[in-house]
Amino acid sequence: MTPEVRALLTALDGQRRHVLGALEGLDEEALRRPVLPSGWSCLGLVRHLALDVERFWFGAVVAGDERVIAALDETEDAWRVEADMAASDVLDRYRREVRLADAVVGATPADAPLAWWPHHLFGAPHLHSLRDVLLHVITETACHAGHLDAARELIDGRRWLVLT
């Protein structure tokens, strides 16, 4: 792994830790509670990050894994968490998708072209390499970490302060 990719992955890991840290200590009910008018829950946002971000961008787009690509059609609304799906399962899925994504990053050169792109959904790709995808995923994960900060403060007043 090049120093550039290592630096980008380190930045992404910080945002991933922020996502999980912002939710530490919340019980199942709080993780499922929608706090904004749009109705998403903290658990739904984490499931979105697992499936629509980590799995989609690294497993499908960067690696072109046919099993991941096939599974994309089977996934309905990733933001929705069924009542019979345990919070621990959603959080564990996020951690598992992060590990799989890290393996893809470790095996892919920074300037490697995308292995797959859903032209039928999004037209021409606006990202073109692993480097581009890493920057995009850092941005999206950081944005959602901020959403979780606000949701957490609305749930119980706790604030996640990052002083690094």
Give residue-wise pLDDT tens across range 69-96: 999 888 779 999 999 999 999 999 999 9
Would the pLDDT of 164 be above 60? Answer: no
Instruction: Give the pLDDT confidence score for residue 147 in this predicted structure.
Output: 96
**C-beta neighbour count of 100 within 10 angstroms:** 18
Average pLDDT over residues 91-119: 97
Question: Is 118 a domain residue?
Answer: yes
Instruction: Give the pLDDT confidence score for residue 73 in this predicted structure.
Output: 80
Question: Is 164 a domain residue?
Answer: no
Q: What is the dihedral of CA 155, 76, 56, 116, to 10 degrees?
A: -160
Q: What is the CATH number of the domain that holds 55?
A: 1.20.120.450
Min mean pLDDT across 74-83, 96-105, 108-117, 140-149 is at: 74-83
Q: How many domains does the structure of the chain reveal?
A: 1
**Residue found by looking up tokens 């621990």 in the block:** 88
Q: Which two tokens stand for residue 148?
A: 């979780």
The angle that helices 130-156 and 3-23 make with each other, rounded to 10 degrees, is 20
- Provide the percentage of residues in the chain whose pLDDT is more than 70: 98
Question: Is 161 a domain residue?
Answer: no
127 DSSP 8-state letter: -
What Cα–Cα distance (Å) separates residue 31 from each residue in 4, 91, 123, 147?
35, 11, 35, 13
Q: Return d(Cα 159, Cα 13) in angstroms, integer.
A: 20
Q: Which domain holds residue 59?
A: 3-156
Question: Is 162 a domain residue?
Answer: no
Instruction: Give the pLDDT confidence score for residue 71 in this predicted structure.
Output: 93
Question: Is 22 a domain residue?
Answer: yes
Q: Return d(Cα 136, Cα 53) in angstroms, integer.
A: 10
Tally of CA atoms within 13 A in the half-sphere of 127 that contains its CB = 22
Question: Is 163 a domain residue?
Answer: no
Q: Return d(Cα 106, Cα 86) in angstroms, integer.
A: 31
Determine contact, residues 160/149, Cβ cutoff 8 Å.
yes
